[in-house]
Chain A
């Protein structure tokens, strides 16, 4: 009897363990499968289409793998899309211009964002929460509508031109919309919160006694800032720059609304190739090249960061 209950208990425990194993597998597998199907597989398809040939049909691509009538499995990879992309000055210019616009916007956002984050992190308690909320709030407000807001402000009869005219700085309205200036403005405006938030958390963590010690030893505030504060908040700077630069490179909405017809940015070119020219293979090839550039950039930054940590 006693032995029997013991056996039963062992078996039940085994059953329980099997069940929790099963539960554990479910917890992992459900989101894993979702991401595999809707995120990983799509990439492989983009990669495949990038090597396909365009044809007039729906979908407008030739199959890459075919089973021919004489029982041959054919795999045809067209490298022409890539040679087309790298052979055309327009695409090269679009890539270079995207990197330039994203790079300059990131630096501008850093120059404005750092003192802001510093000010918020050093603000007295209650103020700090309010200011923090004020930085977060635009992040939740429609991106599209915030870009749209500049359309009215920058127009020929908009308040900025009115102000410049009234002050006598200019004598006729400036063309502000559809310029590179408007694109930079829109970029910094839209991505500023992404820069401020990681900077804020880095500056907030900073040990203030280090600065006090520096001051006690006669270090000037400016020097203390460059030798203590800046190096210790480097991680926040890295994170903020990454969060601004990466989405900015592939940005579509800002150049489409604020930029001129000659504002070449790669996100816009992919969009136009896809929707305008219905050239899916070239759009895919551009996406692959863009992805390669961004991945290379992230890896480079990671390596720099880890080397700094070792040093």
Chain B
């Protein structure tokens, strides 16, 4: 490769990654700054953990974090169940009435501007409440429903991609040996697509945990999620305890993504080894 061009690519890589990571690093560094004026380094009293201590004494922050965690967990579980069914329908039942519309409905939530999704769901909840008296005000339930609806689309993409690579002959063999479709699914297919289900769950959890715009439309006065709380705070400018909060969240997410990556590589390796063992035993 000619040197001039690879130098250009290297520089683009260095610049790109610096661009992506320096702001996050700066935020982490400033979280240890004692000064209330976030970006003015108070070298006499820093580094300090005082903003972290303050954060854990801050009841609204803890409450909204708990609410966000609860919603994200329920959302991820619901999105994975519905997403697996939908991915299965799209991948295995090639033809059914209304498949084109189904395909559109499963991809559109990903590209739709969040303000539109949020607005439309709110109008639905209001109309439903007028018509049948449910959901009776807005809060955790309506937020969870909204989150499942948009995060499901991402789960479907992940699981469908995996389903497409599953060797159909394994399922057919089980079927020929008399296993019922449900049994085939739980004994053969499910274990094979487990890595995708796990990463779909994590993805749905994070999408829900992060969401601000859709949540703002469908939440009620008594339910403030963590992003809503952060947004109302940062609209007034930088604040040192938000830096501490951001640092904690970034570290947790990094740990989760790295762990998920390692887990998936391991699972993949074990599967390959098992297949090899089975193959050796058979021959």
Measured CB to CB, the residues of A under 8 A from B are 16, 19-20, 23-24, 26-28, 30-32, 34-43, 45-46, 49, 59, 112-113, 115-116, 118-120, 122, 131, 133-138, 140-146, 148-153, 155, 157-159, 189, 192-193, 196, 221-222, 242-243, 246-247, 249-253, 256-257, 267, 270-271, 274-275, 280, 283-284, 287, 290-291, 294, 298
Q: Is residue B13 contacting chain A, with contact meaning CB distance below 8 A?
A: yes
Chain B residue contacts of A113, Cβ below 8 A: 16
Asked whether A31 lies within 8 Å of B114 as measured between CB atoms, the reply is no
Q: Is residue B182 contacting chain A, with contact meaning CB distance below 8 A?
A: yes
B68 to chain A, nearest CB (A): 11
Asked whether B113 lies within 8 Å of A290 as measured between CB atoms, the reply is yes
Asked whether B126 lies within 8 Å of A112 as measured between CB atoms, the reply is no
- Per-residue A-contact encoding for B100-132, CB less than 8 Å = 1, 0 else: 001001101101111110011101101100100
Distance between Cα atoms of A252 and B118 in the complex (Å): 12
Known: A134-B17, A252-B114, A287-B116. A31 touches B83 (CB 8 A): yes
Known: A31-B89, A159-B26, A221-B2. A148 touches B19 (CB 8 A): no
Asked whether A152 lies within 8 Å of B238 as measured between CB atoms, the reply is yes
Residue from the list A152, A193, A196, A242 in contact with B39, Cβ < 8 A: A152
Chain B residue contacts of A291, Cβ below 8 A: 112, 116
Asked whether A152 lies within 8 Å of B145 as measured between CB atoms, the reply is no
Chain A residue contacts of B105, Cβ below 8 A: 32, 35-36, 39-40
Asked whether A38 lies within 8 Å of B93 as measured between CB atoms, the reply is no
Q: Which of B49-57, B166-174, B190-198, B249-257 lies at the interface?
A: B249-257
9 nearest A-B pairs in the assembled complex, by CB-CB distance? A250-B113, A115-B12, A42-B120, A31-B86, A149-B23, A42-B124, A119-B13, A35-B105, A116-B16
Residue from the list A27, A149, A249 in contact with B246, Cβ < 8 A: A149
Asked whether B85 lies within 8 Å of A31 as measured between CB atoms, the reply is yes
Closest to B245 in A: A145
Asked whether A146 lies within 8 Å of B149 as measured between CB atoms, the reply is no
Residue from the list A32, A134, A152, A251 in contact with B27, Cβ < 8 A: A152
Known: A134-B20, A192-B19, A247-B113. A115 touches B120 (CB 8 A): no
Closest to B92 in A: A27
Chain A residue contacts of B250, Cβ below 8 A: 141-142, 145
